[in-house]
């Protein structure tokens, strides 16, 4: 079965990838969520009422969790490993127009990096329990940071 999200919609455009990469990324763990397909995932996670999800930190990165338990909210950076990487114009609502990839939060990106600000529930060994994620089970983890420095979506643009 073909996933229709991988087929260009009217007015969309894709490019050929450059070939070589400019940098490397280490996946430092995996994210555990109740969702096994992209269709099941929420568009945005709910840090207040969403399900508890686990962020499993892999060796040798476990010592980097020291101090995380004192944080209230975390920024999670993860790799949307099932996404196409060639879309430059997208038509997310199947209209008679398309917009540039950088103007929307679609998972189809040259570098499929996602960011979510989540609420910390607990740290149990090498697992960080949080609420507010929106990715499928097994998603590779790129980084975990305390929230400060991240701009909250709850702040109106004029107040930033």
The domain segmentation of the chain, as residue ranges, is 25-70+111-148
**Domain 25-70+111-148: top CATH class:** mainly beta
Polymer length in residues for the chain: 160
Reply yes or no on whether the pLDDT at 134 is more than 60: yes
Reply yes or no on whether the pLDDT at 117 is more than 80: yes
Closest CA to 41 of 119, 135, 112, 137: 135
Q: Which residues of 25-40 are buried (b: 16+ CB within 10 A; e: fewer)?
A: eeebbbbbbebeeeee
Reply yes or no on whether the pLDDT at 100 is more than 70: yes
Reply yes or no on whether the pLDDT at 146 is more than 70: yes
Q: What is the pLDDT of residue 5?
A: 63
pTM of the model: 0.81
Encoded tokens for 55: 């962020």
58 exposure class (CB count in 10 Å sphere: 0-12, 13-18, 19+): middle
Biggest alpha carbon–alpha carbon distance for the chain: 51
Mean pLDDT along residues 74-86: 94
The residue ranking higher by pLDDT, 86 or 22, is 86
Separation of alpha carbons 86 and 103, rounded Å: 15
Mean pLDDT rounded to a whole number for the chain: 88
Mean pLDDT along residues 94-113: 90
């Amino acid at each position: 079965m073909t996933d229709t999200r991988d087929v260009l919609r009217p007015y969309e455009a894709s490019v050929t990838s450059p070939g070589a990469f400019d940098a490397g990324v280490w996946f430092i763990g995996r994210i555990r969520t109740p969702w096994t397909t992209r269709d099941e995932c929420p568009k945005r996670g709910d840090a207040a009422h969403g399900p508890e999800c686990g962020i499993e930190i892999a060796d040798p990165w476990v010592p980097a969790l020291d101090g995380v338990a004192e944080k209230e909210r975390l920024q999670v950076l993860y790799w949307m490993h099932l996404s196409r990487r060639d879309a430059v114009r997208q038509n997310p609502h199947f209209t008679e127009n398309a917009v540039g990839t950088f103007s929307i939060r679609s998972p189809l990106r040259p570098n499929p990096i996602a960011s979510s600000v989540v609420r910390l529930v607990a740290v149990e060994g090498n697992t960080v329990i949080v609420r507010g994620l929106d990715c499928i089970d097994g998603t590779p983890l790129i980084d975990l940071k305390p929230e400060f420095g991240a701009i909250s979506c709850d702040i109106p643009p004029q107040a930033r």
